[in-house]
Amino acid sequence: MTAVDERGGMFTLNPEQEALRQKALAVGRELRADGAKWDRDNLAPYKEVCARMKEAGLLGLTMPKEYGGQGGTALDYVIAVSSILRMSQTWIGPEPLFCTTGPGASMILLGHEAMRQKYLPQVVQGELGCAIALTEPEHGSDLTYLEATAVLDGDEYVVNGTKAFITGSGVNELYATFVRFDDIPGPKGVGALVIEADRAGVTSTPGPEFVGDRGIPHGDVRFEDVRVPKENLIVGAGQFGWLMSAFNMERLHNSALCLGISEAAYDEAVTFAQKRESFGRPIIEFQSVYHSIADMWVKIEAQRMLAYRAGATAREGRFPDAHDVTVAKLHGSKIMTEVTMSSLELHGGYGVTLDYPIQRIHRDAIASVVAGGAPAVLRNSVASMLFPDRRFSQTRGS
Ligand SMILES: Cc1cc2nc3c(=O)[nH]c(=O)nc-3n(C[C@H](O)[C@H](O)[C@H](O)COP(=O)(O)OP(=O)(O)OC[C@H]3O[C@@H](n4cnc5c(N)ncnc54)[C@H](O)[C@@H]3O)c2cc1C
């Protein structure tokens, strides 16, 4: 780290936040040596990483204390996720925070008390992980067109449908699953249920192999006549906006991930540029090199401000504001690949060898761009928030 960012960048943290940052950096550093193997084998010991995060006291950060959580804020979440990622240099590092504190856990928090009591104490302890199952083979950005259905039959919902690209499928025990209730078309029909992975009729398959974000499947999950108790309802039809308020934790995670990946790429650029010599001098002494590093730093600082603000303005300290978190994720997904690519380029030919981590960091960056919402779709959201009186309908013929 350079002198300025030993203070956590230019953002002033209070002593508790700084202590959290230091803890997350330390635990991230412990994982750094393993990332290359997890990527190469496309297999990470997720439960061990989760146990390590629990030991470090980093699970359940934003969950209320009454469910065993730490009662922290969304800003704590951003600080922890970005710092673990920066030091571990692998997206797997903060994934246990995502599965035990992030959007799945936050959606359970939206549900009624019996469901919170049923799951949250085990979720915040890392005993149950909650993946989020929205995307379908034919519907990603057009989430409101989703086809998975839930039909009430007595005291149970019967769920049918297929989900795609589900991070942590086959690894987590729960799916916060978006479904259409009562065949009601459009967003009005979309709600969510918690579905246990071991329920009869649930099948997970690994799905296609990814170029980055490897080690845990982003697989397919099929629901065939799965009977789910009524008490597993998060929200039913007509509350799509409310549901998305908790889903915004996904975008907050992505914003922090963009920050952490960019910082990891920056660290590698700084280390390499000071060691590598050309024409008898360290390459960092060439103006094009130190300008490139300065540009990376400015982009990272802007991302830190946006991600921290999105954390700091979260409602009840927990549910991120749609505007702030969308802006942070959109900016993050843009600068992240620019920063990782600049760092890779500064490594010369070594940048594309498996001997240096920058190629893996760059692959994780490109794999993360559309997760949680493609940039074009985030631009649609920003524009509709800027111009609320105009309709930017995406539907043909409307
Ligand atoms: C690493 C990774 C992890 C993921 N994890 C999960 C997960 O855990 N759970 C989950 O549910 N999903 C997950 N996803 C899926 C992800 O949310 C979707 O890939 C994403 O929403 C885009 O959907 P799509 O892939 O179907 O692309 P499409 O919706 O087909 O879009 C393709 C492209 O078309 C353009 N486009 C589409 N619609 C519009 C529009 N209205 N305006 C402008 N341009 C448009 C955009 O450029 C977009 O990139 C993950 C994806 C990745 C890559």
107-139 pLDDT, tens digit per residue, is: 999 899 999 999 999 999 999 999 999 999 999
Q: Is the CB of 205 under 6 A from ligand 1?
A: no
Q: Is 270 in the pocket of ligand 1 (CB under 6 A)?
A: no
CA of 367 to the centre of ligand 1 (A): 11
Q: What is the CATH number of domain 130-238?
A: 2.40.110.10
Assess whether the C-beta atom of 135 lies below 6 angstroms from ligand 1: yes
Q: If one looks up domain 241-386 in CATH, what number appears?
A: 1.20.140.10
Cβ neighbours of 19 (radius 10 Å)? 11
Q: Ligand 1 centroid to 394 CA: how many Å?
A: 15
**Closest residue CA from atom 7 of ligand 1:** 166
Instruction: Report the pLDDT averaged over residues 335-339.
Output: 98
Tell me which of 316 and 51 has the higher pLDDT.
51
Between strands 218-229 and 202-205, the pairing is: antiparallel
> Do 130-238 and 241-386 fold alike per CATH?
no
Quick check: helix, strand or coil at residue 105? helix
Whether 187 contacts 16, CB under 8 Å: no
Q: What's the one-letter identity of residue 85?
A: L
pLDDT tens digits, residue range 238-259? 999 889 888 999 999 999 999 9
Residue 141 CB less than 6 A away from ligand 1? yes
User: Looking at domain 4-124, which CATH architecture does it have?
Assistant: Orthogonal Bundle (1.10)
Which residue has tokens 């996720």?
81
Q: What pLDDT is attached to residue 397?
A: 67
Q: How remote is the CA of residue 140 from the centroid of ligand 1, in Å? A: 5
In the reported structure, the alpha carbon of residue 174 is separated from the centroid of ligand 1 by a whole-number distance in angstroms of 22
Structure confidence at residue 3 (pLDDT): 47
Q: Where are the domains of the chain?
A: 4-124, 130-238, 241-386
Return the sign of the alpha-carbon dihedral for residues 352, 357, 360, 364: negative
Specify the 3-state DSSP secondary structure of 128: coil
Atom of ligand 1 nearest to the CA of 213: 1
